[in-house]
Amino acid sequence: MLLKSKFKLATAVGIILSMLSLLVHLFLANYSAGGISKYNLEEVLPFGSKPRPRRLWGPLRTLDHLHPYAKPRQLYPAPVKHNGFIYAKIYGGFEKIQSSICDLVAVARLLNATLVIPEIQATTRARGISSKFKSFSYLYDEEHFIAALSDDVPILRGLPKDLREARKKIKFPTVSPKNTATSDYYTTDVLPRLVKSKVLGIIVNGGKCLQSILPASLEELQRLRCRVAFHALKFRPEIRSLGSQIVGRLRASGRPYLAYHPGLLRDTLAFHGCAELFQDIHTELIQYRRNQMIKRGTVKEQLTVDSVSIKKNGSCPLMPEEVGLLLQALGYPSATIIYLAGSETFGGQRILIPLRAMYANLVDRTSLCSRRELSDLVGPESPLSSDLPDPPPPKSEKELIEEWKKAGPRPRPLPPPPARPFYAHEKEGWYGWIGENDTEPDPSPIEFRRQAHRLIWDALDYFVSVQADAFFPGFHNDGSGWPDYSSLIMGHRLYQTPSGITYRPDRKTVATLFENVSDHLYHPPRNWTMAARQHLNNSAGIEGIKMSAMMSKPASFLAHPLPECSCRTPKSPVVQPVKDEHGALLFGGEEDCPDWMVRTLAIVPSKNNEPQSEDYEGELPEDDPSQDTQQESDRSDTNKSSEQDEEMDPDD
């Protein structure tokens, strides 16, 4: 009996302990799942200052002598002769809008004309997107834009009333300049038409309306572009406020963060022929868009191309999996915070699974902001009518009995089940047509609204990426001639914080590296890791800036605003100037900073008060997981609007 009682007691104790263990595990699982699903970085990462390896987070000592300086250097009087008014319509995404506005201000200065605040067609064509923010003010602060450029170009919110009525009757000429339009084109062809009509319209389709590199005599126009892009074009206060909150939440754990823009856009992939990088329906979607570009004449190549050879040539974006492997080669630990920028990532979350497996703290605006914060940023919008089919009207009992009597002889089969209702996501976008039709339908009102929303998300991510401790582009310098999102961020960072870590990988070199290690991709040998690390570290320094200057500046000045928009402190190391084939400076040869700036820089304390670990250029971390805590438009021309050329009324 004694033995049986001891056995029962032990059994009871074991059951109680098992139940307690189960409860503890359930509590921990629920707690951890809740924290990860909301990406609460305060719970994932510990507080406190952490070592910041200079090799991973900067600043770069080789570039700390450069400082932003875009003020006029020569005699720069305000224009006295008024030749007329210029109004403009801008088609395209965020990067095209940002670049086009800078060119339009420079053109207005060149022609001594008054500029009417440009109209952003992605918002004005989406009727009723917001009753509070319209067109230009949907993204930017209008009052600051006008005040900041008051000494450069006179700017108005709209044409005078009499001229506005004449514009509605299409009495004024319009021009649609090429991306590479020269200053001579405007002074020779456009200026006489402006002087004659007093009002001229400019339609910008390709993201630019003035060539990137101007003659040396127009160097002040280049600095004007910098003043527009980096000072006058301030996002509206709501965007800046939420962007600052996101940056604060990313740094709340006491650690820096890296911003990453994949560059995986459907139009970009179709333009370069990268369809085979994807599978299933995504390949069909890319090929359909490429076929559209071929019909419009934007793409001169065949519909089907070898995407593998295109990728080896560096013309396709880096896949997120490859970016994760490169960051591991650089030495970024698995706890690194990575901010995913960009309003569109073609392929969705599925394409990000490998990168998320390597870096669990991969976050974006949706995981760091509540729905209320994002909806407040968009502003009030008028409701859209539903396209769902109306249900059949209900029938009375008498009608049902009459139908039953007229149904025919018995026995008869059971009636078919009621049709399944169609949901909104099955009728809009490519879900509703790709499986049934070969023709993509025209954009619906909800799609126009989504396009306008993407401008806000891109602006928000642009703000966060410029402030990031490090930036890694998935696709830049694509060779299309149009401005791209990553290059604009890199140019802004080069102007604002030249010594910050901004990687500029050569995709052709990276493709060769991955081809050499394809058999053991996730466990590369040490010499491969050293080669990848050396290439990326060089791309963030002077060598990478020189290479980027030769590739990006001829296409977009804002992607490389040096040396016109910067100065160097005295006694800084001499850098060999880099010139293009026409002898224009691309890097080096910056003027000395003025005395007042040198004195200010001397008394300003260091921005980075966090502890810095020593540089270790040639050292690779050992394979010890415990060291993780120690190391740290469419490319085609957008079709012009077929609507009557009416000016957007700010009071409408």
pLDDT in tens, 10-38: 777 778 877 877 777 666 555 443 333 34
Spatial contact of 473 and 488, defined as CB atoms under 8 Å apart: no
Spatial contact of 476 and 144, defined as CB atoms under 8 Å apart: no
**Does residue 221 share a domain with residue 194?**
yes
Nearest one of 73, 309, 104, 284 to 210, comparing CA atoms: 104
**Residue 48 CB burial class (10 angstroms; 0-12, 13-18, ≥19):** exposed
Residue 600: the pLDDT is: 74
Say which range, 148-152, 230-234, 570-574, has the weakest mean pLDDT: 570-574
303 domain residue, yes or no = yes
Residue 554: the pLDDT is: 84
Count Cβ atoms below 10 Å from residue 595 Cβ, excluding itself.
9
Higher-confidence residue of 94 and 134: namely 94
Residue 618: the pLDDT is: 39
456 domain residue, yes or no = yes
Spatial contact of 568 and 66, defined as CB atoms under 8 Å apart: yes
When pLDDT is cut at 50, 70 and 90, the band that residue 633 belongs to is: very low
Nearest one of 606, 602, 593, 539 to 566, comparing CA atoms: 593
User: pLDDT tens-digit profile of 409-456?
Assistant: 777 677 777 777 766 555 555 555 665 666 777 777 777 888 888 999
**Does 626 have pLDDT greater than 50?**
no
User: pLDDT tens-digit profile of 492-504?
Assistant: 999 999 999 999 9
SS3 percent helix, strand, coil of the chain, rounded to 5, is 45, 10, 45
Residue 621: the pLDDT is: 43
66 domain residue, yes or no = no
Collapsed DSSP state (helix, strand, coil) of residue 647: coil
User: pLDDT tens-digit profile of 322-376?
Assistant: 999 999 999 999 999 999 998 888 888 889 999 999 999 999 999 999 999 998 8
The domain in which residue 490 lies consists of 239-378+445-562
**Does residue 248 share a domain with residue 111?**
no
To which residue do tokens 């009996």 refer?
Answer: 1
User: What is the rounded distance in angstroms from the CA atom of residue 417 to the CA atom of residue 415?
Assistant: 6
Residue 605: the pLDDT is: 47
**Does residue 274 share a domain with residue 185?**
no
349 domain residue, yes or no = yes
**Residue 624 CB burial class (10 angstroms; 0-12, 13-18, ≥19):** exposed
23 domain residue, yes or no = no
**Does residue 267 share a domain with residue 197?**
no
Q: What is the mean pLDDT of residues 492-521?
A: 90
For the chain, how big is the Rg over CA atoms in Å? Answer: 29
Higher-confidence residue of 122 and 327: namely 327
User: What is the rounded distance in angstroms from the CA atom of residue 526 to the CA atom of residue 188?
Assistant: 60
**Does residue 289 share a domain with residue 211?**
no
493 domain residue, yes or no = yes
**Does residue 457 share a domain with residue 326?**
yes
**Does residue 201 share a domain with residue 162?**
yes
The structural domain count of the chain equals: 2
Length of the chain: 652
Residue 631: the pLDDT is: 39
- Point out the domain boundary residue: 527, 562, 597: 562
Q: What are phi and psi of 51, to 5 degrees?
A: -60, 140
**Does 279 have pLDDT greater than 80?**
no
User: What is the rounded distance in angstroms from the CA atom of residue 260 to the CA atom of residue 505?
Assistant: 13
341 domain residue, yes or no = yes
- Point out the domain boundary residue: 189, 212, 234: 234
Count CA atoms closer than 13 A to 172's CA, side-chain side: 29
Q: What is the mean pLDDT of residues 156-173?
A: 87
Query: What type of residue is 316?
Result: C
- Point out the domain boundary residue: 234, 269, 298: 234
Measured CA distances, 387 to 63, 380, 390, 423, 430 (Å)? 56, 21, 9, 9, 16
User: What is the rounded distance in angstroms from the CA atom of residue 306 to the CA atom of residue 322?
Assistant: 20
**Does residue 200 share a domain with residue 108?**
yes
Collapsed DSSP state (helix, strand, coil) of residue 294: helix
Tell me the Ramachandran region of residue 99: left when phi exceeds 0, alpha when psi lies from -120 to 50, beta otherwise: alpha
**Does residue 328 share a domain with residue 288?**
yes
**Does residue 270 share a domain with residue 170?**
no
**Does residue 258 share a domain with residue 156?**
no
19 domain residue, yes or no = no
When pLDDT is cut at 50, 70 and 90, the band that residue 124 belongs to is: low
Residue 286: the pLDDT is: 87
User: pLDDT tens-digit profile of 591-615?
Assistant: 888 877 777 776 654 444 444 444 4
Residue 256 parent element (H or E): none
Higher-confidence residue of 94 and 303: namely 94
**Does residue 335 share a domain with residue 462?**
yes
Nearest one of 254, 278, 250 to 264, comparing CA atoms: 278
Q: What is the mean pLDDT of residues 271-291?
A: 84
Partner residues linked to 86 by β-bridges: 115, 200
Residue 335 parent element (H or E): none
